[in-house]
Amino acid sequence: MNEFLTFTKDSAFNLMKKAFFIGIIPLFFLAFWVGKYFAVLFPMDRQVTADIPGHFTVRSEPNIILGMLIGIGILIASALMWKIICQGILIALQAFETYTNSNHHNGDS
């Protein structure tokens, strides 16, 4: 717990790795809500037996399969976009880290 509350020098890679995994959590909620929205938006009709024997009626229900497929697709697509963003930030952080380290060593000479 003490390590969690204090700042220590860390590499840009470890920092972005932690940020990536923390950023994945909201994507699960996004995928769930978008999947739920599409499941309700495009309902599925299902035949159920009526009170009169031999007769059927149709009942609309959320299309759970469609919602799950869209939710999984949204999760994969948003995770890929988040990874690309994190990779870009990592490249910038590593360039900045290299620049500051080279500048620091040049100043000591």
Overall size of the chain counted in residues: 109
Closest CA to 29 of 66, 65, 79: 79
- Predicted structure pTM score: 0.74
Domain boundaries, the chain: 25-97
Closest CA to 17 of 66, 68, 89: 89
Cα angle, residue 67 at apex, residues 40 and 62 outer, rounded to 5°: 35
pLDDT tens sequence for the chain (109 residues):
666 677 777 778 888 898 999 999 999 999 999 999 999 999 988 877 777 777 777 788 999 999 999 999 999 999 999 999 999 999 998 888 888 878 766 655 4
Structure confidence at residue 40 (pLDDT): 93
